[in-house]
Structure 1
Amino acid sequence: MRATSLIITTFGDAILPRGGRIWLGSLIQLLEPLQLNERLIRTSVFRLVKDEWLRVQSVGRRSDYLLTQSGRRRFEEASRHIYASSAPLWDRRWRVILVVGDLEPKQRDALRRALFWQGFGALGNDCFAHPGADLTDVLDALIADGLAPVLPKLLPLFAADARLARSATDADLVARAWDLSHLSAAYTEFIGVYQPMLDVMRREGLAGVSDAQAFLLRLLLIHDYRRLLLRDPELPEVLLPQRWPGQLARLLCKEMYQRLEEASDRHLDEQVCLADGSRPEVDLSLWQRFARTDPIKV
């Protein structure tokens, strides 16, 4: 488990609804039970500052770490996917981005990584496709990722059904653009790990589980689920193979999170503090946006 990745999950799930800032000492105490020592956490936070996910604000001899504007955007976009209650519907139109100008090798690699991050599959070196992405948001994200000079060399467009290729079906396009076999196996493994825990919760509730343990389990649950979603193009159900395990994993995560929520929130309310010693208030508008309307909670 990478400490930097786990800290990103912590900010996205626990710190963002509490103002998006935390005293470094409080973050260390939250993650210490996972055997992440202080030095490792400090090093990881420094990397996140360097990568412009976080920024530091000194308060006397202490420091708060805050989400940057771009970091908050990335977290909010990820939250829309992590806490969605179901797979997206499809309007039967493909979103396509064509490379119509010459790109330097570094620019091409950066573009490919940025589009893969947003779920696009590659149909050759110069064509990227997705069935549901918002092209305006995609281009805005490319600008935020420092790829504004590349935009004049891209042609975003819509294509109906399988007209991207003269004789290809939608299933053919999916098979060409994405390898779903490894992702399917990973979802199956996730279910195998967490389903027995959920079964116990259904029978016994959280008997014998402390608030701190509930938080740690919730954190690991969302962390593992988030890592899967980073690899998941989130195709509409009509384009997925039969018996796709992703939706079962989503429902499992949703129910388990709901059962852990109250106890884990009590722990966070007690433990999360700022450098001046105050406790941050929960941002109810943000919490409702990602936790009451369309997410993991019902």
Structure 2
Amino acid sequence: MSAKQQLESLNRDFQKKRPLRAGSLIITTYGDIIHPRGGNVWLGSLMKLLTPMGVSERLVRTSVYRLVQEGWLQTEKVGRCSYYSVTGAGLRRFQQAFEHVYTLGTDEWNGSWCLVFLNQLEPETRARVREELKWLSFGSMAAGVMEHPRFTRHELIPLLQEWGALDDTIVMQTQPMEQRSPRALRRQVRESWNLDELGFRYKRFLEKFRPLWRELSINDNLSPEDCITARILLIHEYRKILLRDPLLPDELLPGDWEGRSAKQLCRNLYRAIYRRSDEHLANLLENASGPLPGPSQGFYRRFGGLIEENPADNGKFVAEESV
């Protein structure tokens, strides 16, 4: 198979999913493509962007309407055209997840845990806050108690305030542990997060995208438009896994943890296709002032610095031109 055929196979698999969660795909598109280019885009541009992935104009309209109702997006009308951007609350909700996507490594863990006690919340609020915390990859330590090894109390307080739950939620930060990987802690981690399921999802990701990476070194016939589709699919599938991954320290993970290989594959593919995809994006995306501006400087710091990687070079990299 050529690279294009591998991409077509990935795209078909995506379009077969039911229900087709276009809202989640739109959030991926904003985080990866639109936000670095100013964050505001004409609805028609968004439709053109997602059409090759089998997302109809009607589904895009319905999905952005729901995202507005849920507080993710806000709309602005200029004449007969609608322009959409991410709200401040929406940006805070997904920003950390996207930072995890593009970061090669994680800070060394000091042995501290963030603990959140939800027992004093009203049942409806407790269920809502619990879902928000799960979205941030918190694990369930016990009934009404959630935990995270990297989130801090300082980061969580503003979010609890935004959710209207700060006064009735107890947040604690434990002291760093000298012995950070005892047997009991490893067992607790497996009870709090389903590592087997998470590892399986990483394995499936590798099985789906490795063939595309291999073909890029043999028969790379992807057009700029193809590269946009490949890029959105890549980040979308990877982001969905990271939403449930607390990025546990290595001492608490299995030695053969598939998440490490998945990160490298995502980085390699992204570096190989992002430049061609940007060629087409420059002509495709518009806001009320005209074509969207180029990516911000922060965009080029993704994955440790965007350089183009060619599989045929056996791992050698060509440095990205200064921007």
TM value normalised by structure 1? 0.89
Match of 1:110 among 97, 121, 128: 128
Mapping of residues 217-236 of structure 1, within 5 Å: 217-236=230-249
How far apart are 1:283 and its partner, in Å?
Answer: 4.7
Mapping of residues 189-204 of structure 1, within 5 Å: 189-204=204-219
Secondary structure of the 2:286 match is coil
What is the aligned partner in structure 2 of residue 245 from structure 1? 258
Residue 125 of structure 2 aligns to which amino acid in structure 1? Q
How far apart are 1:140 and its partner, in Å?
Answer: 1.5
1:103-158, CA deviations, whole angstroms, 9 ceiling, x for partnerless residues? 221122122212222222122113222211122111212222333343xx413121
Q: Which whole-Å CA distance do the structure 2 matches of 1:95 and 1:149 have between them? A: 17
Greater Cα shift, 104-113 or 141-150: 141-150
What is the aligned partner in structure 1 of residue 73 from structure 2? 54
Residue 294 of structure 2 aligns to which amino acid in structure 1? V
Give the unaligned 5+ runs of structure 1.
none
What is the aligned partner in structure 1 of residue 192 from structure 2? 177
Query: Any conservation in 1 of the 2:129–2:165 contact (CA below 8 Å)?
Result: yes
Counting matched residue pairs gives 289
Distance 1:158 1:85, change over 3 A: same
Match of 2:296 among 276, 284, 296: 284
Distance 1:223 1:95, change over 3 A: same
Query: Any conservation in 2 of the 1:97–1:128 contact (CA below 8 Å)?
Result: yes
Identity, % of aligned pairs? 35
Match of 1:132 among 147, 150, 153: 150
Query: Any conservation in 1 of the 2:150–2:246 contact (CA below 8 Å)?
Result: no
TM value normalised by structure 2? 0.83
Secondary structure of the 2:121 match is coil
Query: Any conservation in 2 of the 1:92–1:161 contact (CA below 8 Å)?
Result: yes
Q: Which whole-Å CA distance do the structure 1 matches of 2:33 and 2:99 have between them? A: 15
How far apart are 1:36 and its partner, in Å?
Answer: 1.1
Distance 1:230 1:176, change over 3 A: same
Residue 136 of structure 1 aligns to which amino acid in structure 2? H
Residue 284 of structure 1 aligns to which amino acid in structure 2? S
How far apart are 1:50 and its partner, in Å?
Answer: 0.5
Residue 8 of structure 1 aligns to which amino acid in structure 2? I
Match of 1:143 among 155, 161, 173: 161
Residue 20 of structure 1 aligns to which amino acid in structure 2? G
Residue 243 of structure 1 aligns to which amino acid in structure 2? D
